Amino acid sequence: MVYLDHAATTEVRPEVVADIAAELGSLGNPSSLHGHGRAARRTVEESRERIARALGSTPHEVVFTGGGTESDNIAVKGLYWARNAEDPARRRILTSAVEHHAALDPAHWMAEHQGAVHEALPVDALGGLDPETLREAVERDPGSVALVSVMWANNEVGTVQPVEELAAVAARYGIPFHTDAVQAVGAEPVDFAAAGVTALTVSGHKLGGPVGAGALLIARGTAPTPVLHGGGQERDIRSGTLSTPLLRGLATAVDRAVAEREEHAKHLECLRDELEEGVRAVVPDVVVNGDRERRLPGISHLSFPGCEGDALLMLLDARGISCSTGSACSAGVAQPSHVLLAMGADPDTALSSLRLSLGRTSTREDVRALVEAIGPAVERARAARAKRRR
């Protein structure tokens, strides 16, 4: 079996499994004041400190959540509600057009149900958002902008955004800037303070950690309105009993991913380049999508003219190779990728694409297996499509 879908989820690191297993045997709610509770709280706070050190924030700025989707919802909804409560004129939510649905859908929902105005800013043919585009959008009416949300790196094509420049534009007008860094942590140098962002999303299972654990880094002095109400945990931003085992595992995953980033990125770049070279040798008209200069090291997003991505996925799956036609959250939905459409691709091209994403356990043997299988798969997919259209 060959796994080329690490952008969807990754193998849990052995040391993370060991940490979680060890902590599962401990008793104590970290909100309790007795000895068992204090022991659990100590583990939680040590985990918070480790994540803060790895990502360039203070421990107080780390708010634990259940994962990337929850963090994005807290950022988009919570920052909007807080800003709009201060000044009802602040109704605009600015995002790029290529955001993950975990950020786009909350923005859409706020527009439909909370009186917000969502503006999805256009990107170039490589998937990048020009800071000048953001500046022009803000300057149309700076006082009406509640927040800006632009992901650090795209989960489909891998394009890395100029986050520091974009955040600087927002800061110039006193506008909170959120970035979904789920794909970037462990692959790109991510420093919360240096980037100048207001909020940053992290998810454990994208970097060798557990599913169900994540964090939202929130700058000092920023208080988003809670999405959940309850016990007031996590600075009253995210109520709910904290999972001590998962947070210990999350901290270990973040710590190791950041520490190994440079070596890991070089390894993935070599494998990705070998993969693309091999695929091009057997399918000469393949198209590589995204920014070839500024992209994540482990993502190769390819379009195969005359094919349907879903057909290719199933043909490869029959050969024991797992990949994706795009975001895992839209798997099974026969619609062209909103990311590729925003980049200017036509629907046929968008539907002919595969995302091949490499990870910590990927090998040259995996790449060779893909290259060996892709030629016959493309031939069969093209023949099937041509037959249906006759």
Q: Which residues are catalytic?
A: 329
Nearest residue to 319 via CA among 375, 280, 383: 375
Task: Please give the full DSSP string across 334-372, using - where no structure is assigned.
Answer: -S--HHHHHTT--HHHHTTEEEEE--TT--HHHHHHHHH
Mapping DSSP to helix (H, G, I), strand (E, B) and coil, where does residue 236 land?
Answer: helix
Question: Cα 279 from chain centroid?
Answer: 26
373: its two tokens = 């299988």
Round to whole Å and give the CA distance between 257 and 374: 31
Facing residues of 288 across strands?
302
In total, the chain counts a number of residues equal to 390
Are the CB atoms for 224 and 89 separated by under 8 Å? no
Is there a contact between 156 and 302 (Cβ–Cβ < 8 Å)? no
